[in-house]
Amino acid sequence: MINIVKMRLLSIICVSPYNPVMQHLSVLHNEVLALLDPKAGESVLDVTLGLGGHSKSFLEKIGDSGHLTGIEADENNLKLAQERLKAFENQTELVHANFREIELMNLPIVDIIFADLGLSSPHLDDPDRGFTFRENAPLDMRFDRSNGITAAQLIKSLKEEELANIFWKFGELRTSRRLARAIKEKEQVKTTLDLKECIEKSAGYKARDILPQVFQSLRIAVNDELGSLEVLLNIGPKLLKKGGRMGIISFHSLEDRMVKKAFRELSQPMIDDVTGAVTEEAPFEVITKRPVFPSEEEVEGNSRARSAKLRVIRRVERV
Ligand SMILES: C[S@@+](CC[C@H](N)C(=O)[O-])C[C@H]1O[C@@H](n2cnc3c(N)ncnc32)[C@H](O)[C@@H]1O
């Protein structure tokens, strides 16, 4: 009897293995398609390919005569996306790189640039990556494991004050100094559990409330996420054709503030200081006067979408 139960269980596990592509839901999928409006024959640059969810839909819209370049920092995700987009291999170029390098990549100008910032579900689902406080694992947190230093190495290399600044700037943690002290006092912080113990020591029963911010702030620092976004906001618009659209989904206020400011500046005309007359029309227009949020239904089905905000600009035809 026990053997039969065991065999049944085994067959269930075998026919339904964990499939990250199936588990991963692309955030604001319909809104992205509606606002970026990919058309037959257009070219797309997806700088956060992830598991290729948004890219697959772009490819379906741009058809055989279109072209998509996908950039992904994480080699595992890149492989999953390559597999998923196999049917489109003649129209795609998928590259293992950080989008902060786009200026050096000799990319042609395109109709659409898209970024869906931050991490993907496999990063959280794979405890070995060190992104989640729910499992004990080496404290890594790099999107690209072939490059840069891990969160554990970063913690070791920083002074107490520098560490506190990370928690303050990227996590808006009011207890950043106390936490940094607890971390630096610990003999070694090599795993997610070591870090969790420091948080518990410093915040007591409130630790649970700040765990997500602490992990998020270290992740932002390890991957220099705001530095990369700044490059994208500077270089991306220059790579857009006339009429081209650029859409960015951000997941926390620091990113959204940067996107909002950059898009606003790009959509301002040049004004003569003396006469106040317009000397040069604005090169871009903001398509999303307010950020686009996911629907309640989407958040219910995918809690990761909860804090997503989408903003889109368009290069005007005449500039
Ligand atoms: C939210 S996921 C993208 C999901 C994707 N839109 C989809 O539908 O499958 C973000 C992805 O961007 C990657 N990423 C984050 N920052 C990056 C960077 N600076 N350069 C390249 N890839 C980056 C992450 O590794 C992750 O796979």
Predicted local confidence at residue 20, as pLDDT: 58
- The rounded Å distance from CA 263 to ligand 1 centre is 21
CA distance 270 to 55: 35
> Whole-structure pTM over 0.85, yes or no?
yes
Q: Which residues of the chain have pLDDT under 70?
A: 1-24, 319
Predicted local confidence at residue 24, as pLDDT: 65
Predicted local confidence at residue 21, as pLDDT: 59
Predicted local confidence at residue 25, as pLDDT: 79
Predicted local confidence at residue 8, as pLDDT: 41
Give the dihedral sign, CA 42/45/50/54.
negative
Predicted local confidence at residue 11, as pLDDT: 37
The response to whether residue 48 sits with its C-beta less than 6 Å from ligand 1 reads yes
Query: Cα separations (Å) of 72 from 44, 151, 190?
Result: 14, 20, 27
Predicted local confidence at residue 4, as pLDDT: 43
Q: Are 266 and 136 in contact (CB under 8 A)?
A: no
Q: Are strands 240-250 and 278-280 parallel, antiparallel or unpaired?
A: unpaired
Predicted local confidence at residue 213, as pLDDT: 93
Predicted local confidence at residue 125, as pLDDT: 86
Q: Which atom of ligand 1 is nearest to the CA of 122?
A: 27
Q: Which atom of ligand 1 is nearest to the CA of 98?
A: 20
What amino acid occupies position 233?
L
- The rounded Å distance from CA 186 to ligand 1 centre is 33
Q: What is the CATH number of domain 145-222?
A: 1.10.150.170
Predicted local confidence at residue 127, as pLDDT: 83
Q: Into which CATH architecture does domain 20-121+226-315 fall?
A: 3-Layer(aba) Sandwich (3.40)
Q: Which atom of ligand 1 is nearest to the CA of 143?
A: 25
CA distance 2 to 52: 42
The response to whether residue 70 sits with its C-beta less than 6 Å from ligand 1 reads no
The response to whether residue 237 sits with its C-beta less than 6 Å from ligand 1 reads no
Tokens of 265: 């500046």
Enumerate the domain spans of the chain. 20-121+226-315, 145-222
Predicted local confidence at residue 151, as pLDDT: 97
Q: Which residues pair with 94 in a beta bridge?
A: 70
Predicted local confidence at residue 22, as pLDDT: 55
Predicted local confidence at residue 317, as pLDDT: 79
CA distance 122 to 82: 15
CA distance 302 to 294: 10
Cα–Cα–Cα angle for 16, 18, 23, nearest 5°?
A: 105
The response to whether residue 71 sits with its C-beta less than 6 Å from ligand 1 reads yes
Tokens of 15: 């026919």
The response to whether residue 120 sits with its C-beta less than 6 Å from ligand 1 reads yes
